[in-house]
Amino acid sequence: MNSIKVDIQRLQREIDELALITEAEPPVVTRVLFSEADLRGREFVKKLCREAGLALRADAVGNIFARWDGANGKLPPVATGSHIDAIPNAGRYDGVVGVLGAIEAIRALKKAGHRPQRAIELIVFTAEEPTRFGIGCVGSRLLSGVLAPEKAAALQDRDGKSLDEWRQGAGYTGSLESVRLPKDGYAAFVELHIEQGPILERENTAIGIVEKIAAPSTLRMDLTGVGGHAGGTLMPGRRDALLAGAEIALAVERAVTSSGSPDTVGTTGVFRIEPGAVNSVPCRALLEIDVRDTKVATRDAALAQIETAAAEICQRRGVVLQAERVNVDPPAVCDAALVEMVTGVCRQLGVSHKKMTSRAYHDTLFMAQICPCMMIFIPCRGGVSHRPDEFSSPEQIETGVRVLAQTLARAAD
Ligand code: GLV
Ligand code: MN
Ligand code: MN
């Protein structure tokens, strides 16, 4: 199958076109789940799938499936895919390379005259990013049974609008129970993605073969203090919610830097205060804290340390703390046979490669609960991601898509 030709010009044009479908001023990409931009992005992807001759369906939470039937309808299909939602102030490659790249891989396989035994199915996952509901990978969590439908139905955004309202407004109806897929319903799932770290570029390596995905977790802390006039409320006895939150954010940094593992990372990525007026003592602070590690033990110890510190800080400052573990997920291990398969593809194509760990999470983390999984990484400039200047070159993307296409062909044979 060396004759597979990736049309990188067309793919790059499509990536650039999708980047213009954004809630922000280009080149900034912001496509929050079920926003008008996300809905238009979905239409754009569906149009490309139709033009590629793929059969489309969507489930009740808006995961989109685009299928190329195989010669043997009795065999479980092979799946690939990623996401097109984008956090505020993002770039154009995160997730998108795994969606549009997969469409190009299928087009290239078709053009080369390949006919797979198994169906090849592209999945465009709903809400890989946690922006709308504070929890990432909502679609793949539901598909894999990691998130119970009743818990999903209870999800609300910061304005109190529920997942049910959002999905139904977007035209995705039906019961959330129906989203779950059977175990081993897919023979394999392979996700192409930018690395979102600096290693491949630094080592001048074309492909990262992911063996493991680090374990993510999220804490939400709602702090209620006592507000008041910034001039009239003297400093003794103040119960300032922001100051308690600030101490908590520093405690997060302390906990992860003293964990004993260089892989523990912690980020207070959301910190909102009320009433948000310069002349008013903050009466409320809402923090969302992301803690990850390749090892569960050090991640969990850091989580516990942060929770203990937060309780102490809030008690000392007279602030009421409501803390919640939004998600605490295990790491995922990629399938050894698929790791070998992608390694073989890279060797056959003469492409430099290395085995690595994904420090970012991906829908693969949850797909790994129901089928053998694998991820293919390509370099991104400076390791930069979740920023408008995120960049992978057309050559880097082309190599990734060639490796994906060959892998899909082998896995579907
Ligand atoms: C995915 O977007 C992540 O935050 O790892
Ligand atoms: Mn992302
Ligand atoms: Mn992503």
Copy the structure tokens of residue 145: 């049974």
Name the closest ligand to CA 82.
Answer: 3
Ligand 1 within 6 A of CB of 360: yes
Is pLDDT of 117 > 70? yes
- Residue 2, judged by CB atoms within 10 A of its CB (0-12, 13-18, 19+), counts as exposed
Ligand 1 within 6 A of CB of 293: no
Ligand 1 within 6 A of CB of 87: no
DSSP assignment of 297-314 equals: HHHHHHHHHHHHHHHHHH
Number of the ligand 1 atom closest to the C-alpha atom of 196: 5
| Cα 85 to ligand 2 centre (Å) | 8
Number of the ligand 1 atom closest to the C-alpha atom of 360: 5
Quick count: other Cβ atoms within 10 Å of Cβ 274?
A: 16
Ligand 1 within 6 A of CB of 361: yes
In three-state secondary structure terms, 266 is: strand
Ligand 1 within 6 A of CB of 129: yes
Quick count: other Cβ atoms within 10 Å of Cβ 175?
A: 9
Q: What is the pTM assigned to this prediction?
A: 0.95
In three-state secondary structure terms, 216 is: strand
Residue to probe by mutation, ligand 1, list 195, 217, 386, most atoms within 8 Å of CB: 386
Is pLDDT of 1 > 70? no
CA distance 46 to 396: 25
Per the CB < 8 A criterion, the answer to whether 231 and 334 are in contact is no
pLDDT at residue 3, as a whole number: 81
Residue-level length of the chain: 413
Residue to probe by mutation, ligand 1, list 132, 361, 387, most atoms within 8 Å of CB: 361
Residues with CB under 5 A from ligand 3 (ion): 94-95
pLDDT at residue 255, as a whole number: 98
Beta bridge partners of 162: 156
Per the CB < 8 A criterion, the answer to whether 282 and 242 are in contact is yes
Rg (CA), the chain: 22
| Cα 396 to ligand 1 centre (Å) | 21
pLDDT at residue 243, as a whole number: 98
Number of the ligand 1 atom closest to the C-alpha atom of 361: 5
Number of the ligand 1 atom closest to the C-alpha atom of 290: 4
Name the closest ligand to CA 125.
Answer: 3
275-302 average pLDDT score: 98
Is pLDDT of 2 > 60? no
Ligand 1 within 6 A of CB of 105: no
pLDDT at residue 329, as a whole number: 98
Could you tell me the CA-to-CA distances from 387 to 147, 266, 295, 408 in Å, in that order?
29, 18, 27, 30
| Cα 195 to ligand 2 centre (Å) | 11
CA distance 345 to 364: 20
CA distance 6 to 8: 6
User: What confidence tier does 224 reach under pLDDT thresholds 50, 70, 90?
Assistant: very high
35-59 average pLDDT score: 98
Q: First vs last Cα of the chain: how many Å apart?
A: 12
Give the tens place of pLDDT for each residue, 236-260: 999 999 999 999 999 999 999 999 9
Ligand 1 within 6 A of CB of 290: no
Number of the ligand 1 atom closest to the C-alpha atom of 129: 2
Is pLDDT of 41 > 70? yes
In three-state secondary structure terms, 279 is: coil
| Cα 141 to ligand 1 centre (Å) | 14
Quick count: other Cβ atoms within 10 Å of Cβ 370?
A: 20
Give nearest CA residue, ligand 1 atom 5: 360
